[in-house]
Copies of this chain bind each other. A is one copy, B any other.
C-alpha cells in the first residue's frame, strides 16, 4: 500500500491550492495583504502558514522519493508570496506523482534517515507510517487551522478533498 498511501498524501496536498485561493479572496474582501496570512501563526513559538505548507510539501516529497529509491529534489525555502507558494506545491506534486507504483516495490526493505535525527534511520514502513503520514497531516492541518483562525471560509470537505465513493 506504499503507493496508495503516498498517492493519498499527494491528493491531500493538492487541496492546499483551493485554500490559498480562499485566503486570497478573504484578504481581498477584507482589504488586507494576503502576505499577512502567510506569516500568521497560532503561537509565538510555532511556525507560520508559509512554513507549514513548505513542510507538508517536504514530507510528501521525501516520502515519495526515499521510499521509491529516488533522491528527492532540493527545494529552497525561499518563497516570498502566495504565487511562489503555489509553485512550490506544484513542483512537489509533479515530482511525487511521477513516481510509479512499481518504483515502490522495494520500499519495505529500505532504511531511511530523517534530517532531524542524525545517526538514526527507520525501516520503510515505519518511515511512512510514523514519520511521513503524521507529519504531512500535521502540517496540512496546521495550515488549515491558521487560515480558519483568521476567518478564511474553509470547511472540512476542503480539507478532505474529493472522496472516491464505491456506491451508489
Contact = CB atoms under 8 A, between A and B. Distances in A.
B120 A8 contact: no
A113 to B, nearest CB: 9
B111 A166 contact: yes
Contact of A141 (B122, B142, B163, B166): B142
A130 B166 contact: no
A129 to B, nearest CB: 4
A133 interface: yes
Interface in A85-139: 111, 117, 119-123, 125-126, 129-131, 133-135, 137-138
Contacts of A8: 129-130, 133-134
B163 A122 contact: yes
Interface majority SS on A: helix, strand, loop or mixed?
helix
Contact of A121 (B1, B46, B135, B165): B165
Given A133-B8, A134-B159, A138-B159, A122 B165 contact: yes
Contact of A126 (B122, B148, B163): B163
Given A1-B125, A133-B133, A138-B144, 13 more contacts: A8-B133, A8-B134, A11-B130, A111-B166, A117-B165, A120-B165, A121-B167, A122-B164, A122-B165, A131-B160, A131-B163, A134-B137, A142-B145
